[in-house]
Structure 1
Amino acid sequence: MPILAPPALIFFCNSVLFISLFTRLPSIQASMQVNKATLGLALLGGALGTVLALPIAGKINNWLSPRRTAALSLMILSFVMPLLAIVPYAGFVSCFVFFAFIRTMLDVAQNMISTGIEQSSGVKVLSRSHGFWSVGLLLGTMASSWAAGQGITPVGHLAAIGVFVFVCALVVLRITPEMSSLTAAKSSGNTPIFIRPTRGILLVALMLFGLAIIEGAIYDWGMFLIRERITTDPARAGLLFAFFTIGMGVTRLSGDWLREIFRPSILLRASAVSVALGLGIILNFENEWLAAIALALIGCGVAFNYPLAVSTVISMRSVNSPAENLAALSMVMLIATIGIPPLLGSVAELYGIATSFVAILPLTPLAFFMAPVSEGRGLQRDENVGQEAR
């Protein structure tokens, strides 16, 4: 059994669950008979579920083991998926909080499994594992497009996805190795729940912020933009959304090669230009082929954002460990972006979905001008503090 198989399957299933839900959100919204502003408030449940899970996700993984946590999380999510399509609004909010809570457990487990395999085998699998997230986005989007075109209801579609993921969870349980005590670090009793972010972490978060907001907006509201501006056909809308996932997937799978050729700041600036160009095209033209090109450009542009931020944080020297710095970055980004989904929903309800994306277009220069941070510029103070601490 190839050592890449376990994390690849987990990342793939995680992304299929995620994208299957969000590509059917317009139909779910219609069935709940709520407007975009109200749906945006419901999407706050994702942030709430993550906040509730972050303090205990590592401990749960250490208690159950990453292997069991990943399999159990996938099984639970397979049952939650169809519920999201049939419950009333209040039930949707509750289920969505729980959905985000369990997915946070799964996110920690899948990364612990990938890094554990790297440590025990010496073979790099983390980047390729994340590549399978993009593969799952693409195939999940295409499956959603086909299901919508065949007139399959969201509950039928999400139930089928749930069955598929449940079977995959059994496979995950069988093929995933147990992490040894050396690869699955145990958290000590005095480990702080929340890590105070350093100046360097705040600079990386500022670099990450603009493109992260746009990526999240595409996930949350991209299908609404396509169906209101480009095509009302749900099947064709799903195919168009697939171009976003194709752009992201191709860029990530070739990312290691590109990083050997170009400096991080150049890649990040090119990413910002690509996103700005893509948004400019889709907001000014209503042609399907141009929309496909625009979505692919946006996918290419957001693909490097988080990996470059993680690479910067891991290489940073400070008073905190790399793992603690990553936790601090996650918390800063969660707090910084928590109100964005309902805000964009309110703007869309009052002024139209296109206006929501016009409002976030000016965020692209933020990544462009903060790009030097990806090469460690401006982080020297954190490094000096780290040296003094040692």
Structure 2
Amino acid sequence: MTRLIRPDILMTLLPPALLYFSNAILFVSLFTRLPSIQASLEIDKAVLGLALLSAPVGTFLALPLAGRVTDRLTPRMTAIVMLPICALLTPLLTLLPLPGFIFCFFLFGFFRTIFDVAANMISAGIERRTGVKVLSRSHGFWSVGLLVGSLASGFLAEEGVSSTVQQSMAAGMAILACLTVFLLTPPDPAHAAPAVRRSAYVLPDRTILLICVMVFGLCIVEGAIYDWGIFFLREELRVDPALAGTLYAAFTVGMGLTRMFGDTMRDRLGAIILIRLSAVAVAVGVILLVSTSDYIFAGAALFLIGCGIALAFPLAVATTIALGKGQTSENLAALSLTLMLSTIGVPPLLGFIAEHVSLSATFLVLLPCILVSFLMAPVAEGKRPFRFRKQ
């Protein structure tokens, strides 16, 4: 415990803590108000799913630049420039008609992708400089932000605060956090850009492809909860906005607690066991969520799903840093690119299923993907997922 409370470690954790926390507030404030945004746009879930596809398109176009921008500006400056841009876009998403929503959501995905690469580089740099594992803990502050944001969002919605006002408040918090990081943290040491000319898109090698397959099932469940979790609580369980925010908070509590202890668990249990436990927790949570009408069991299901998906991306990042070849920024960009391409059709597909079948079916179709993550767990330690003995 002494190592966790050393002042120097706390100061090095300050930048990712503030950045991940405020980014999560911004994110969850937007996604928990999607039902009201959908109503104002006067569109159905299938169309909303297609509109949400604009952010992955932005991600795709940003990834060739993410590593280069981060290397040129340094991770610290990149993060504190990109997050305010995202923040200023989000209130517009609550005001504009459908074409404007699609364009601004595209820009949101574009700039947020560059921010994500920079934020992960900040955490990776802390681990490299101090020798202390903080990657999972850094993502844990994202989960804490989700918890605070979802509870606040439910309360503000119940009190009749408009989504525009709420998103403006979240944007102000994100900008203030970036200003604090800028004022209190020293600049990163500048380094020369590599002389070798790089291709536009960093193609993933076999290792990164396997890592993406390993976490694919867990990552799309996380996306499904973000996109359709509030819809499920409001329409299937018929809960009011305040209770929906409270139940959604159970998901963020599970994610946050697991991430805060994730670095210790990674040391003690190993990555393979963690991936398999994560897959089991997510599968059990999904089955429980769609089969219950009780609020307490629904909260427990969301808590389990939060625990299960918590370490997927941190483990993918850690494995990429440990096993990847070449520059870390390019490997992380390739990881993000591959995950984005593999999940790009998921929002419209799940939106189509939600509109024409049911919201329960939206989650049940993800179970086979979760099984794939369970089977691919050995990749987390650089091992082959399937071993066959020679006769």
Q: Give the TM-score, by structure 1 length.
A: 0.90
- Structure 1 residue 111: deviation in Å? 2.5
Give the percent of matched residue pairs that are identical in Structure 1 and Structure 2: 48
Q: 2:167 aligns with which of 147, 158, 163?
A: 158
**Deviations 1:174-212, CA, capped at 9 Å, x for gaps:** 123211035xx6344512332332333222221111111
**Deviations 1:99-142, CA, capped at 9 Å, x for gaps:** 11111122122233333444555555433222211111111111
Which residue in the other structure is 1:21 paired with? Answer: 30
Q: Which stretch has the larger CA shift, 153-162 or 255-264?
A: 255-264
The amino acid that maps onto 2:168 is: A
**Deviations 1:274-330, CA, capped at 9 Å, x for gaps:** 111111111111110000000000000111212222233333265x45544333222
Q: 1:329 aligns with which of 310, 327, 335?
A: 335
SS in 2 for 1:4: helix
Which residue in the other structure is 2:270 paired with? Answer: 263
Which residue in the other structure is 1:215 paired with? Answer: 222
- Structure 1 residue 352: deviation in Å? 1.7
Q: Is the 8 A contact 2:55 2:108 kept in 1?
A: yes
Alignment of 1:303 with 2:310, yes or no, is: yes
Which residue in the other structure is 1:203 paired with? Answer: 210
SS in 1 for 2:299: helix
Which residue in the other structure is 1:294 paired with? Answer: 301
- Measure, in 2, the Cα distance between the counterparts of 1:220 and 1:258: 29
Q: Which stretch has the larger CA shift, 90-99 or 120-129?
A: 120-129
1:288–1:108 distance in 2 versus 1, CA, 3 Å: same
Q: Is the 8 A contact 1:20 1:144 kept in 2?
A: yes
Which residue in the other structure is 1:48 paired with? Answer: 57
- Structure 1 residue 152: deviation in Å? 0.8
1:141–1:325 distance in 2 versus 1, CA, 3 Å: same
1:224–1:71 distance in 2 versus 1, CA, 3 Å: same
Q: Which stretch has the larger CA shift, 298-307 or 101-110?
A: 101-110
- Structure 1 residue 372: deviation in Å? 1.9
The amino acid that maps onto 2:100 is: G
- Measure, in 2, the Cα distance between the counterparts of 1:16 and 1:291: 23
Matches within 5 A, 1:179-190: 179-181=188-190, 186-188=193-195, 190=197
Q: Which stretch has the larger CA shift, 246-255 or 360-369?
A: 360-369
Which residue in the other structure is 2:356 paired with? Answer: 350
- Measure, in 1, the Cα distance between the counterparts of 2:274 and 2:79: 33
Which residue in the other structure is 1:277 paired with? Answer: 284
Which residue in the other structure is 1:388 paired with? Answer: none
Q: Is the 8 A contact 1:113 1:179 kept in 2?
A: no
- Structure 1 residue 55: deviation in Å? 1.1
- Measure, in 2, the Cα distance between the counterparts of 1:328 and 1:5: 27
SS in 1 for 2:376: helix
The amino acid that maps onto 1:25 is: L
Measured on the aligned residues, the alpha-carbon RMSD in Å equals 2.1
- Structure 1 residue 254: deviation in Å? 0.8
Q: Is the 8 A contact 2:292 2:298 kept in 1?
A: yes
- Structure 1 residue 29: deviation in Å? 0.5
**How many pairs were matched up?**
377
Which residue in the other structure is 1:383 paired with? Answer: none
1:301–1:123 distance in 2 versus 1, CA, 3 Å: closer
1:166–1:330 distance in 2 versus 1, CA, 3 Å: closer
1:195–1:63 distance in 2 versus 1, CA, 3 Å: closer
- Structure 1 residue 379: deviation in Å? 8.1
Structure 2 residue runs of 5 or longer lacking an equivalent are 1-6, 387-391
Q: Is the 8 A contact 1:200 1:379 kept in 2?
A: no
Q: 1:77 aligns with which of 71, 86, 98?
A: 86
